Structure 1
Amino acid sequence: MTGSATVLLVRHGSTTETGARLTGRRPGIGLDERGRGQATRLAQRLAPLQLNAVVSSPLQRCRETAEAIRAAQPAESGVENVRTDPELIECDYGDWTGKLLVDLVDEPAWHTVQHHASAARFPGGEGLAEVAHRATRAVRDHIERLLDTHQHPVLLVCSHGDVIKAVLADALGMHLDLFQRIQADPCSLSAIRYTSGRPFVLRLNDCGETLVGLVPRGEYPRIDDTDAVVGGGGGGEAENPRV
Structure 2
Amino acid sequence: MTTLLLVRHGLTAMTGPVLAGWTPGLGLDDRGRAQVRALAERIAAVPLAAVVSSPLDRCLETAEAVAAGHAEPVGGIEVDERFGEVRYGDWTGRPLKELAEEPLWRVVQAHPSAARFPGEEGESLAEAQHRAVRAVRDWNARIAAEHGPDAAYLVCSHGDIIKAVVADALGLHLDQFQRIQADPASLTAIRYTELRPFVVRTNDTGGGAEGLLPKPADPAAGDGGADAPPAGGGSSDAPVGGGA
User: TM-score, normalization: structure 2?
Assistant: 0.82
User: Partner residue of 2:198?
Assistant: 200
The offset of 1:149, in angstroms, is 2.1
| 1:107 is aligned to 2:90 | no
Mapped to 1, the partners of 2:183 and 2:163 lie a distance apart of: 10
Structure showing greater relative contact order (alpha-carbon pairs closer than 8 Å, 6 or more residues apart): 1
The offset of 1:150, in angstroms, is 2.0
User: Partner residue of 2:153?
Assistant: 155
* Unmatched segments (≥5 aa) in structure 1: 210-243
User: Partner residue of 1:217?
Assistant: none
Among the aligned pairs, what percent are the same residue?
60
The offset of 1:184, in angstroms, is 0.5
SS in 1 for 2:127: helix
- The CA deviation string for residues 123-165 of structure 1, in whole angstroms up to 9 with x for no partner, is 1101000000000000110110111122211010000000000
* Among 28, 31, 44, the residue aligned to 2:28: 31
Letter of the 1:7 counterpart: L
* Among 61, 78, 81, the residue aligned to 1:83: 78
User: Partner residue of 1:190?
Assistant: 188
Letter of the 1:91 counterpart: V
SS in 2 for 1:158: strand
| 1:51 is aligned to 2:83 | no
Letter of the 1:18 counterpart: T
Q: After the TM superposition, which parts of structure 1 deviate over 6 Å for at least 4 consecutive aligned residues?
A: none
| 1:19 is aligned to 2:16 | yes
Mapped to 1, the partners of 2:56 and 2:85 lie a distance apart of: 8
Mapped to 1, the partners of 2:12 and 2:25 lie a distance apart of: 11
- 1:203-218 alignment, distance < 5 Å: 203-208=201-206
Mapped to 1, the partners of 2:146 and 2:104 lie a distance apart of: 45
Letter of the 1:92 counterpart: R
SS in 2 for 1:109: helix
* Unmatched segments (≥5 aa) in structure 2: 208-244
SS in 1 for 2:146: coil
- The CA deviation string for residues 27-46 of structure 1, in whole angstroms up to 9 with x for no partner, is 10000000000000000001
User: Partner residue of 1:225?
Assistant: none
User: TM-score, normalization: structure 1?
Assistant: 0.83
The offset of 1:92, in angstroms, is 0.6
Q: How many residue pairs were aligned?
A: 204
Letter of the 2:101 counterpart: D
User: Partner residue of 1:130?
Assistant: 127
| 1:97 is aligned to 2:92 | yes
